[in-house]
Structure 1
């Protein structure tokens, strides 16, 4: 993995490929390359490092072509070297780019080596290139060779292939990793993300599992897993180029943190306009489905998992229904208990997270009947595979560290909670009106929290000198402590851990000394006095406290105790508001340490491999 773009046109596609790769930089990568068919040869340039370095090399070679593919790679098989970078070439005849992981690559490598193929890289991808070339040598055309090759592969892939033998064709295939086709006039494209081709077109076809596609300048032909020709719906993307530009901000992460009032307002707009929480927020058949469920099973990874942990507090307290939350990559490999009357909720920003998609498939195989997806990307794989859907309307999220996707997921999950509570007789009309009023005020409360940025930036200067940090919270604040620790470690590379504050005495207190900053999420709720006691435990060991408290909490600063007050307590929605300060703390700490905020090392935006 990580990013794919391909083009066939009546014009020079090299600028299109390079611009597309720049648009995909946000996904995280460690090398980049392009390959093109020029006359009777396949030409290629690859570089480790940034797209700009590869671009300079391509310009120095005066590359120009009407058919080509490009890739940004995040290393899985083999180290970060030019030999392992994509595209990979077989016998100088065809070039291929690949997202995903091929699980049976070692067996295929042995077979191909016995046929005389020489491998120049450590990747699983080069296996696919040689396999397609082998099938071409058996007399198959490029598309048929691709279709034959993928039937021999086990694993996940998105592939784009060009061959000097067929300079009028660009072929591609998808299984487990996102891939789409862009439709133009006298030109067509393939990409792993619509942002890569927005410069050229908004009309796209989302390929489905097992699809292969033959792309020419004048047409696109899609085939399903049985190699039968099929028609796929054409969509017009509503992603704007403006959302992919920085504007006045230093980084996309900062931009996206500040976009949260608008993103939340857009996510809750339908409920506000309806004056309540109709089940149709989640689909036209949602009411009959949600009435009959007797519990909720949430499956997610990373930040989305923490959103699910927050929702568990809401769901069980407000609806009276049992709710379990599991990391998708763990759930899919254990003998899980399945109750057909439980609703399976999958949460994914991209809608393409492989572990979450596979966990959904596993849940259905166990007998779960009803599924709901909370996602930010329309027509992505997980929503398409789900019975009910709620789109979070966060807009394009470019920074690898998720921000507005998380808070909009929380907004969507809260709406689901109230819908379930109403349908199961646990939320009265008066309570529904109160929840709606709190939700309506949420964007404003988030904006007030954003206004604390200068104070938080001052704290960050102190954090930047540290090597470790603890984040603590109780109840609804515990998942936000987890999210704060994750954000800090993701982009500043400071080791950070989060615990329920009540667990201090059961181990973490041993870490506390004068060099350990301890962040407390301390809203003015029923657990506040308990949290104050935990703070005293830290101070007694010499720990330095950094407290995010509500405006109406009674905290005072003193030696070793620093306090920033967020807006007045926002009740059950306080987790959303308290997310903002921990995001800003991570961002400004990373800024002070000089790390690559939008592209943290070793991480990718859309995790489409195990």
Structure 2
């Protein structure tokens, strides 16, 4: 989940380049930040707990430097636990994304051998482990250092990515297992980062580092090796598709509201560019015997919505499984099974583990993923890109609706009604635009103003609206810290209604479908207990204390109905003075278990 970045350039450049890159990666973790600079015979380290400030200390120019933005796992949020971590000599430093599962055993061994630890992190173990292996070597040339990093990496357990800065040989060494690393080349040097977004404006071509590779970045460029055979390999360069405009705020105050507003354009791209690939996915589903949708968090709710869409549109049973639970249910997979993995980043560790479990059992894997070249993209047998563009806010919005759109279209293709699916998506584009008008946003702001002082709210939906209720509750609580829970409307009498007190806000998703009568009955039950009812529906009802009118778009209703919840989460955060882009304790790409 942490963000890591480094460079080796042909001439000295301001080490502030590292800080600029870390700002782009801060969505991956913002508990602390740090920079390591190779200069004047040693590695100079500047690191601090907390967010990267608007103005950072003046940093010297150097031709080799790296940096890190942390999401804390081992050790508190302190200056000393921030990365980089130095070895005992001060000539070697590491930055790390992941968890060293056997770090306690290794640390005990290293301390017994006289190594002095400064932090409480698992990451520092790697610096001392490489140092110890190097100390046993007679030579200290660049190749020896690479082999020492390889040997140290083979001793650790877990899913990890490391960059090692070795000052005497003036090189960065990068190695990984599942956790992502991408290397870029530009006119002034070679760069490495945990996400290609950090390379925008610096690199023209990129190579996604494989788990079987180790990279040494030196002044003369990239040296790539096979990790097991230690033989030289040729990188697989590809153009970096991202541009500076993709990561700008474009006049919006925050990335979250910008990305909410980008959703109609994302749907338009899918309609125009993806029918052929959706047909390929439909063919894979039709040939499978057992299809499973897997995802985590927001992607998991998209998967759940997909199971409803395939049932009601294509009359096909498609299972939805939370990715972190999938390995406990993998036993029924066969070579005829199809696992469709949903992920914005393509690096979510629980999704990757689900995919690896599926592949071990011979199942086919398809991916709906937003990041080309990500681990999931490279593991999948078939990839359907989301075309959503970079998501800089920690909260996923446009990637969620892109997944829903592709699942809806695929279900209609399976049903032989592709034209109906495309028409529904065009109607959803129009419905999204209407939900993003200033007048509608003013309605949502008014609800946010009243909701801001509450501690709890509840969200109900039935059928296709049940996953929407879950996603709405998630959007509210993860950014505003207001406790929100989503429930199936029919479960109220089975315990949930005991939580409803006078004045408690209750959101009701009520599209014009077969669930309407039942969900309105549930709304009346909530109101009779004093609940304050906010109805998200194409038509007003007497039971609604507040009506948020949305377009009637049939089975595309989840695409439109989620917009009020996204807006509400955003405006609640703004109303409370919170950062909508970087909620506490969260990070965008969950690469640790």
Instruction: Specify the alignment match of 1:250 in structure 2.
Output: 253
Secondary structure, in 3 states, of the residue corresponding to 2:7?
A: strand
Instruction: Specify the alignment match of 2:590 in structure 1.
Output: 607
Evaluate the alpha carbon distance shift between residue 416 and residue 216 of structure 1 in structure 2; reply closer, same or farther with a 3 A threshold: same
Does residue 294 (structure 1) correspond to residue 294 (structure 2)? The answer is no
Does residue 149 (structure 1) correspond to residue 152 (structure 2)? The answer is yes
Secondary structure, in 3 states, of the residue corresponding to 2:13?
A: coil
Contact 1:24 1:196 (C-alpha < 8 Å) held by counterparts: yes
Evaluate the alpha carbon distance shift between residue 142 and residue 290 of structure 1 in structure 2; reply closer, same or farther with a 3 A threshold: same
Structure 1 CA distance, aligned partners of 2:279 and 2:223?
33
Of 523, 546, 560, 1:562 maps to 546
Instruction: Specify the alignment match of 1:69 in structure 2.
Output: 66
Instruction: Specify the alignment match of 1:80 in structure 2.
Output: 77
**1:192-234: per-residue Cα shift (whole Å, max 9, x none)?**
1112121212311111113210111222111233123222311
Secondary structure, in 3 states, of the residue corresponding to 1:12?
A: strand
Contact 1:282 1:388 (C-alpha < 8 Å) held by counterparts: no
Structure 1 CA distance, aligned partners of 2:123 and 2:298?
29
Structure 1 CA distance, aligned partners of 2:393 and 2:429?
21
Contact 1:469 1:518 (C-alpha < 8 Å) held by counterparts: yes
Contact 2:28 2:71 (C-alpha < 8 Å) held by counterparts: no
**1:318-364: per-residue Cα shift (whole Å, max 9, x none)?**
22222111111111245632243231100010011111001111122
Larger deviation: 310-319 or 574-583?
310-319
Contact 2:293 2:318 (C-alpha < 8 Å) held by counterparts: yes
Secondary structure, in 3 states, of the residue corresponding to 1:34?
A: strand
Structure 2 unaligned residues grouped into runs of 5+: none
TM-score by length of 1: 0.93
Contact 1:14 1:64 (C-alpha < 8 Å) held by counterparts: yes
Does residue 268 (structure 1) correspond to residue 271 (structure 2)? The answer is yes
Instruction: Specify the alignment match of 2:520 in structure 1.
Output: 532
Secondary structure, in 3 states, of the residue corresponding to 2:352?
A: helix
Contact 1:105 1:124 (C-alpha < 8 Å) held by counterparts: yes
Instruction: Specify the alignment match of 2:534 in structure 1.
Output: 546
Secondary structure, in 3 states, of the residue corresponding to 1:155?
A: coil
Secondary structure, in 3 states, of the residue corresponding to 2:53?
A: helix
Evaluate the alpha carbon distance shift between residue 477 and residue 290 of structure 1 in structure 2; reply closer, same or farther with a 3 A threshold: closer
Does residue 399 (structure 1) correspond to residue 402 (structure 2)? The answer is no
Of 563, 577, 581, 1:580 maps to 563
The offset of 1:186, in angstroms, is 4.1
The offset of 1:30, in angstroms, is 0.7
Secondary structure, in 3 states, of the residue corresponding to 1:82?
A: coil
Secondary structure, in 3 states, of the residue corresponding to 2:206?
A: strand
Structure 2 CA distance, aligned partners of 1:592 and 1:186?
44
Instruction: Specify the alignment match of 2:40 in structure 1.
Output: 39
Evaluate the alpha carbon distance shift between residue 514 and residue 374 of structure 1 in structure 2; reply closer, same or farther with a 3 A threshold: same
Contact 2:161 2:177 (C-alpha < 8 Å) held by counterparts: yes
Of 188, 195, 198, 1:196 maps to 198
Evaluate the alpha carbon distance shift between residue 102 and residue 528 of structure 1 in structure 2; reply closer, same or farther with a 3 A threshold: same
Structure 2 CA distance, aligned partners of 1:203 and 1:367?
34
Secondary structure, in 3 states, of the residue corresponding to 2:30?
A: coil
Structure 1 CA distance, aligned partners of 2:298 and 2:66?
32
Structure 2 CA distance, aligned partners of 1:557 and 1:508?
19
Larger deviation: 200-209 or 497-506?
200-209
**1:105-129: per-residue Cα shift (whole Å, max 9, x none)?**
1111111111111111111100001
**1:300-324: per-residue Cα shift (whole Å, max 9, x none)?**
1000000000000011222222211
Secondary structure, in 3 states, of the residue corresponding to 1:129?
A: helix
Instruction: Specify the alignment match of 2:486 in structure 1.
Output: 498
Evaluate the alpha carbon distance shift between residue 339 and residue 320 of structure 1 in structure 2; reply closer, same or farther with a 3 A threshold: farther
Larger deviation: 326-335 or 370-379?
326-335
**1:2-30: per-residue Cα shift (whole Å, max 9, x none)?**
10110111122402111101111222311
TM-score by length of 2: 0.95
Evaluate the alpha carbon distance shift between residue 8 and residue 445 of structure 1 in structure 2; reply closer, same or farther with a 3 A threshold: same
Instruction: Specify the alignment match of 1:485 in structure 2.
Output: 473
Contact 1:162 1:170 (C-alpha < 8 Å) held by counterparts: yes
**1:401-450: per-residue Cα shift (whole Å, max 9, x none)?**
1111100111111222223x2xxxxx24xx33222222233212211111
Contact 1:27 1:398 (C-alpha < 8 Å) held by counterparts: no
Instruction: Specify the alignment match of 1:372 in structure 2.
Output: 366
Contact 1:28 1:600 (C-alpha < 8 Å) held by counterparts: no
Structure 2 CA distance, aligned partners of 1:142 and 1:64?
25
Structure 2 CA distance, aligned partners of 1:435 and 1:268?
9
Instruction: Specify the alignment match of 1:274 in structure 2.
Output: none
Structure 2 CA distance, aligned partners of 1:554 and 1:31?
48
Contact 1:4 1:72 (C-alpha < 8 Å) held by counterparts: yes
Does residue 362 (structure 1) correspond to residue 357 (structure 2)? The answer is yes
Structure 1 CA distance, aligned partners of 2:555 and 2:543?
26
**1:56-83: per-residue Cα shift (whole Å, max 9, x none)?**
3x31xx5332111100001000110111
Secondary structure, in 3 states, of the residue corresponding to 1:555?
A: coil
**1:215-261: per-residue Cα shift (whole Å, max 9, x none)?**
11222111233123222311112212112111221110000000000
The offset of 1:371, in angstroms, is 1.3
**1:260-306: per-residue Cα shift (whole Å, max 9, x none)?**
001111122225xxxxx44x4465xx676444213311111000000
Structure 2 CA distance, aligned partners of 1:269 and 1:336?
39
Of 115, 119, 122, 2:120 maps to 122
Secondary structure, in 3 states, of the residue corresponding to 1:298?
A: strand
Larger deviation: 337-346 or 349-358?
337-346
Structure 1 CA distance, aligned partners of 2:328 and 2:20?
39
Structure 2 CA distance, aligned partners of 1:98 and 1:554?
53
Contact 1:347 1:374 (C-alpha < 8 Å) held by counterparts: yes
Secondary structure, in 3 states, of the residue corresponding to 1:200?
A: coil
Secondary structure, in 3 states, of the residue corresponding to 1:377?
A: coil
Residues 299-318 of structure 1: matches in 2 within 5 Å? 299-318=294-313
Does residue 447 (structure 1) correspond to residue 433 (structure 2)? The answer is yes
Instruction: Specify the alignment match of 2:161 in structure 1.
Output: 158
Structure 2 CA distance, aligned partners of 1:265 and 1:102?
43
Contact 1:69 1:161 (C-alpha < 8 Å) held by counterparts: no
Contact 1:350 1:606 (C-alpha < 8 Å) held by counterparts: yes
Contact 1:270 1:281 (C-alpha < 8 Å) held by counterparts: no
